[in-house]
């Protein structure tokens, strides 16, 4: 039986960089998730009878909202739901399932790299038939709908047993509980040379993978230890936990500090990697070296032809605006285009769909390709391993060799987390008001607010981050995060290019010190946020 439940709007159900993300406690209010999911369904067209993929990263509250989403899908006319066993699907696996099974779209329950548990964060993302995040126009419609919603529709159904694989019925809708890993693992085998990687590993090449007690555990376990023959224990923290073991499932050198220490300081393995809550991010480490995500994108692009899936070469590359310009240099040398998009994976979708690009990435530990429409943590790990298996050089040799050829782009991101939102807004407004006066000072040749016109669908996005571009090509970029759930988070991205190989072995923070100081003084960060230094440096 389908019921219509009267409801009233909640303020602030505005999707950010990657879906709606809020504190678990906010999501736990009666009708909160229902209102949002109904607003999503109300904003769709042509979904009647279609397939909806549903899954999440296993965080606290997932189990409840998955059942709600299934019951609401039945009440809103979907014909079939595909849901991962135990409600688990990594974001890239969900993207792949949508594409493979020609689903109408998908709902992914995740707050990605944000902490989980009762005091942590929760989130809902909508993906469409191309497997990618809903575009801005649609997320704007959804937000508008959340402001006027008066009722939602839900089927009266017992909870679906998500532990058992198989297909059943729920309120006239088919519900298939599927193995979350199988299709994804097959996709990876179609892209990469598993024989070459197996022989690399059989030769003693050692890997340490930190799944951060999040969704990648089952995927990494099956692929690395199962298909590639890595020793048991290669995948650490392999069991998804509702609170990620109390950790912050963000694969950067700070939150994956133990792994980084194991590789960079103790030099205890040949290759190290980690992934985030929903499996779309990646951290890449080699013995004694951390590879910045911006460099990783550039290096993968430069070596893509060594892997079967990309042996034909790349159509083009795209990077988010704050991502370093390292990939641009590779694109130039390959004679292909490099697109610069606003932050967030949704902007890559149209370029990928139109075949303009093959690889894309963000400085925030996100890299992927045309194989799905999301960033893909394990994919990046496997692409690295495939390249390592072919080149038989160390990660450090490959990275330093890349720098010799293209120069090194020194890069850092400084985050000032959970600062006062009004102060952060004033800081950004203050910079915007001074574009003209800043130009010409300190070697700044251009100051602007990044805007983007999608070359495929013509959509326009403004206010995507403040850029200070220096005569020598260096940049300082300021953005406010669109994924935080408390106050505002100011992100400051700083980069500078160094062509001279004799200056490639320096410490990024020292090398960038002048720009870092300028980033603080020009914006008045201390005055506006009360913070003398960032909360996190990556």
Cβ within 8 Å of residue 22, ≥6 positions away: 12, 121, 122, 123, 485
Q: How far apart are CA 416 and CA 538, in angstroms?
A: 12
SS3 readout for 424-460? HHHHHHHHHCCHHHHCCCCCEEEEEECCEECCCCCCE
Cβ nearer to Co ion, comparing 19 with 309:
19
362 binds, among Co ion, ligand VG1, none (CB under 5 to 8 A by kind): ligand VG1
Segment lying near Co ion (by CB under 5 A), choices 109-117, 242-250, 311-319, 462-470 = 109-117
**C-alpha distances in angstroms, 102 versus 57, 95, 128, 284?**
22, 11, 10, 32
Is residue 22 at the binding interface for ligand VG1, with CB under 6 A as the rule? no
Q: In angstroms, what is the minimal distance from the CB of 120 to ligand VG1?
A: 13
Which residues are known catalytic residues? 112
Query: Distance between CA atoms of 439 and 448, rounded to whole angstroms?
Result: 10
Q: Which is nearer to Co ion, 276 or 376 (CB)?
A: 276
Give the residue with the Cβ less far from ligand VG1, 444 or 494: 494
Q: Write down the least CB distance from residue 369 to Co ion, Å.
A: 17
* Spatial distance between the Cα atoms of 281 and 436, rounded to a whole number of angstroms: 37
Minimum distance, C-beta of residue 18 to Co ion, in the bound complex (Å): 7
* Residues that contact Co ion, how many (by CB under 5 A): 4
Q: Does 491 bind ligand VG1 (CB under 6 A)?
A: yes
Q: How far apart are CA 521 and CA 538, in angstroms?
A: 20
For residue 278, what are the β-bridge partners?
A: none
Q: Please report whether residue 345 would count as binding ligand VG1 according to CB under 6 A.
A: yes
Q: Residues 454-474, buried b or exposed e (16+ Cβ, 10 A)?
A: beeeeeebeebbbbbbbeeeb
- Which residue shows structure tokens 């890997």? 207
Whole-number Å distance between alpha carbons of 125 and 106: 8
The answer to whether 112 contacts Co ion (rule: CB under 5 A) is yes
Q: Which is nearer to ligand VG1, 22 or 491 (CB)?
A: 491
Among residues 216, 260, 341, 481, the one that binds ligand VG1 under rule CB under 6 A: 481
Residue 281 touches ligand VG1, criterion: CB under 6 A: yes
> Residue 364 phi/psi, 5° resolution?
-85, 40
Residues 317-336 that bind ligand VG1 (CB under 6 A): 320
Using CB under 6 A, which of the segments 75-83, 182-190, 276-284, 509-517 binds ligand VG1? 276-284
Give the residue from 274, 256, 289, 313 showing the smallest Cα distance to 403: 289
Interaction of residue 454 with Co ion, rule CB under 5 A:
no
Smallest distance, ligand VG1 to C-beta of residue 75, A: 28
Location of structure tokens 């694109």: 331
DSSP element (H, E) containing 83: strand 80-88
402 binds, among Co ion, ligand VG1, none (CB under 5 to 8 A by kind): none
Per partner kind, with CB cut-offs from 5 to 8 A, the member of Co ion, ligand VG1, none near residue 292 is: none
Which residue has the closest beta carbon to ligand VG1?
112
Q: Which of 86, 280, 376, 495 binds ligand VG1 (CB under 6 A)?
A: 280
Between CA 431 and CA 134 the distance in angstroms is: 31
Give, to the nearest 10 degrees, the angle between helix 377-391 and helix 91-100.
90
Nearest to 350 by CA among 65, 137, 61: 137
| Shortest distance, position 163 Cβ to Co ion, whole Å | 25
Stretch that binds ligand VG1, among 167-175, 361-369, 380-388, 460-468 (CB under 6 A): 361-369
In 267-321, alpha helices (H):
293-303
Compare residues 325 and 343 and give the one whose CB is closer to ligand VG1.
343
Does position 113 interact with ligand VG1 (CB under 6 A)? The reply is yes
What is the Cα–Cα distance from 364 to 113, expressed in whole angstroms?
10
**Which residue number, 173 or 372, has a Cβ lying nearer to ligand VG1?**
372
Asked if 280 interacts with Co ion (CB under 5 A), we say: yes
Q: In angstroms, rounded to a whole number, what is the distance separating the alpha carbons of residues 1 and 75?
A: 8
| Rounded Cα distance, 210 and 272, in Å | 8
Select the span of 108-116, 187-195, 227-235, 450-458 touching Co ion (CB under 5 A): 108-116
Output the residue with the shortest Cβ distance to Co ion. Answer: 112
* 364 in contact with ligand VG1 (CB under 6 A): yes
CB of 87 to ligand VG1, least distance (A): 18
Q: Which range of residues in 42-50, 157-165, 404-412, 480-488 is near ligand VG1 by CB under 6 A?
A: 480-488
CA gap 49, 56 in Å, rounded = 23
In the bound state with ligand VG1, the residue whose beta carbon lies nearer, of 76 and 114, is: 114
Residue 294 interacting partner from ligand VG1, Co ion, none (CB closer than 5 to 8 Å by kind): none
376 touches Co ion by CB under 5 A: no
Contact residues toward ligand VG1 (CB under 6 A) are: 17-18, 112-113, 276, 280-281, 320, 343-345, 362, 364, 366, 481-483, 491
Contact residues toward Co ion (CB under 5 A) are: 112, 276, 278, 280
């Amino acid at each position: 039986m389908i019921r219509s439940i009267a409801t009233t709007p909640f303020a602030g159900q505005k999707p950010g960089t990657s879906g709606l993300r809020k504190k678990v406690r906010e999501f736990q209010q009666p009708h909160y998730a229902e209102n949002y999911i109904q607003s999503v369904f109300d904003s769709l067209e042509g979904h009647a009878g279609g397939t909806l993929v549903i899954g999440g990263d296993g965080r606290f509250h997932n189990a409840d909202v998955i059942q709600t989403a299934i019951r609401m899908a039945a009440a809103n006319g979907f014909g079939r739901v595909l849901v991962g066993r135990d409600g688990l699907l990594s974001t890239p696996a969900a993207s792949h399932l949508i594409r493979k099974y020609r689903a109408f779209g998908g709902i992914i329950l995740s707050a990605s790299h944000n902490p989980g548990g009762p005091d942590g964060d929760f989130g809902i993302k909508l993906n469409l038939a191309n497997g990618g995040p809903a575009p801005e126009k649609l997320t704007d419609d959804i937000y508008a709908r959340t402001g006027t919603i008066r009722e939602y529709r839900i089927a009266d159904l017992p909870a679906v047993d998500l532990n058992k694989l198989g297909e059943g019925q729920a309120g006239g809708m088919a519900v298939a509980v599927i193995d979350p890993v199988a299709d994804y693992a097959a996709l990876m085998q179609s892209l990469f040379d598993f024989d070459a990687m197996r022989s690399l590993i059989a030769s003693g090449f050692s890997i340490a993978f930190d799944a951060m007690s999040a969704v990648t555990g089952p995927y990494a376990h099956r692929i690395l230890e199962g298909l590639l023959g890595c020793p048991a224990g290669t995948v650490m923290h392999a069991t998804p936990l509702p609170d990620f073991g109390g950790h912050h499932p963000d694969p950067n050198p700070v939150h994956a500090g133990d792994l980084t220490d194991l590789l960079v300081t103790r030099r205890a393995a040949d290759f190290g990697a980690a992934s985030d809550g929903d499996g779309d991010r990646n951290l890449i480490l080699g013995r004694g070296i951390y590879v910045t995500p911006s460099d990783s994108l550039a290096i993968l692009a430069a070596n893509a032809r060594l892997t079967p899936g990309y042996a034909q070469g790349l159509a083009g590359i795209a990077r988010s605006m704050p991502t370093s310009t390292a990939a641009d240099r590779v694109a130039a040398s390959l004679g292909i285009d490099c697109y610069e998009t606003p932050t967030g994976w949704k902007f890559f979708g149209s370029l990928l769909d139109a075949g303009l690009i093959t690889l894309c990435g963000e400085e925030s530990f996100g890299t992927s390709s045309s194989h799905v429409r999301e960033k893909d943590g394990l994919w990046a790990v496997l692409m690295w391993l495939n390249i390592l298996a072919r080149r038989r050089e160390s990660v450090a040799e490959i990275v330093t060799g890349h720098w010799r050829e293209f120069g090194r782009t020194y890069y850092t991101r400084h985050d000032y987390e959970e600062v006062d939102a009004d102060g952060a807004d004033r800081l950004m407004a203050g910079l915007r008001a001074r574009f003209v006066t800043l130009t010409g000072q300190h070697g700044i040749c251009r100051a602007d607010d990044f805007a983007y016109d999608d070359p495929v669908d013509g959509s326009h996005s403004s206010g995507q981050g403040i850029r200070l571009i220096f005569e020598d090509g260096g940049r300082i970029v300021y953005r406010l995060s669109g994924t935080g759930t408390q106050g505002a988070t100011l992100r400051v991205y700083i980069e500078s290019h160094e062509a001279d190989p004799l200056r490639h072995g320096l410490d990024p923070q020292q090398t960038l010190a002048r720009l870092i100081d300028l980033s603080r003084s020009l914006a008045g960060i201390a005055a506006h946020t009360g913070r003398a230094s960032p909360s996190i440096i990556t």
